[in-house]
A and B are shown apart, each in its own frame.
Chain A
Amino acid sequence: DQQVKQNSPSLSVQEGRISILNCDYTNSMFDYFLWYKKYPAEGPTFLISISSIKDKNEDGRFTVFLNKSAKHLSLHIVPSQPGDSAVYFCAASAYGNKLVFGAGTILRVKS
């Protein structure tokens, strides 16, 4: 039973355009959501997070949107850069407990 789903295994975007990565969840107890970025053979690095009391959080080129009624969140990267090419994982937790990760989306930014 996948509680966090990233339905797009991969995404290809032109440099300078917007990248939109999507994530859906099923557990209504989740109250904290995170996005991690991972390069091959390295550990994931934290990108941005959002708590369930907000619907948007922004940090530079990265914005996360949360739609609680749809149980959906998205990560927007604008403008996309070649260095953004990586695997992006969505994760969620309930009351500070262990994280549940999605399967990841491979982002390729073409120059």
Chain B
Amino acid sequence: DGGITQSPKYLFRKEGQNVTLSCEQNLNHDAMYWYRQDPGQGLRLIYYSQIVNDFQKGDIAEGYSVSREKKESFPLTVTSAQKNPTAFYLCASSMYGQGQQYFGPGTRLTVT
């Protein structure tokens, strides 16, 4: 039963705390991505990784960090430097060089 899992579904944190969002895939995909969705703004790319131990900044990387130590895993850390962290975060994966991406169910992060 292949797919992408994100945990937890809902996450609450106090302002000033770092928080790490989990993303795991068992599709044997090379590339993984993190997006953020805000109302009326579609999906904006935070970071992406095309191979293990390598990743690139997307359009809105400030205040975020990632790692890609394993092909299956691409955790995203939302740091205290991110000014507006409350959002819906989506992880996706794809075969390298192929346009279609498969998405996880998302994590709703609320920071107060």
Residues of A within 8 A of B42 (CB): 6, 89, 101-104
Per-residue B-contact encoding for A35-74, CB less than 8 Å = 1, 0 else: 0100001111110010000000000000000000000000
Number of A-B contacts (CB under 8 A): 54
| Contact assessment for B104 and A34 in the assembled complex, using a CB-CB cutoff below 8 Å | no
Residues A43 and B99 in contact in the complex (CB < 8 Å), given A101-B42, A101-B43, A103-B42: no
The segment out of A13-21, A76-84, A92-100 that lies at the interface is A92-100
| Contact assessment for B99 and A49 in the assembled complex, using a CB-CB cutoff below 8 Å | yes
What's the Cα separation between A93 and B99 when bound, in Å?
6
Chain B residues bordering chain A, tally (CB within 8 A): 27
Residues of B within 8 A of A6 (CB): 42
| Contact assessment for A32 and B105 in the assembled complex, using a CB-CB cutoff below 8 Å | no
Specify the chain A residue showing the minimal Cβ separation from B105.
Answer: A43
Chain A residues bordering chain B, tally (CB within 8 A): 23
What's the Cα separation between A89 and B43 when bound, in Å?
9
Residues of B within 8 A of A34 (CB): 99-100
What's the Cα separation between A45 and B106 when bound, in Å?
12
Q: What is the predominant secondary structure among interface residues of chain A facing chain B?
A: loop
What's the Cα separation between A9 and B40 when bound, in Å?
8
Specify the chain A residue showing the minimal Cβ separation from B92.
Answer: A43
Q: Quick check: is B97 within 8 A (CB to CB) of the other chain?
A: yes
What's the Cα separation between A2 and B84 when bound, in Å?
21
| Contact assessment for B100 and A46 in the assembled complex, using a CB-CB cutoff below 8 Å | yes
What's the Cα separation between A95 and B98 when bound, in Å?
8
Per-residue B-contact encoding for A5-36, CB less than 8 Å = 1, 0 else: 01001000000000000000000000010101
What's the Cα separation between A44 and B48 when bound, in Å?
17
| Contact assessment for B40 and A103 in the assembled complex, using a CB-CB cutoff below 8 Å | yes
B interface with A by C-beta (< 8 Å) = 4, 6, 33, 35, 40-45, 48, 58, 88, 90, 92, 96-106, 108
- 4 closest residue pairs by CB, A with B: A43-B103, A96-B97, A103-B42, A32-B99
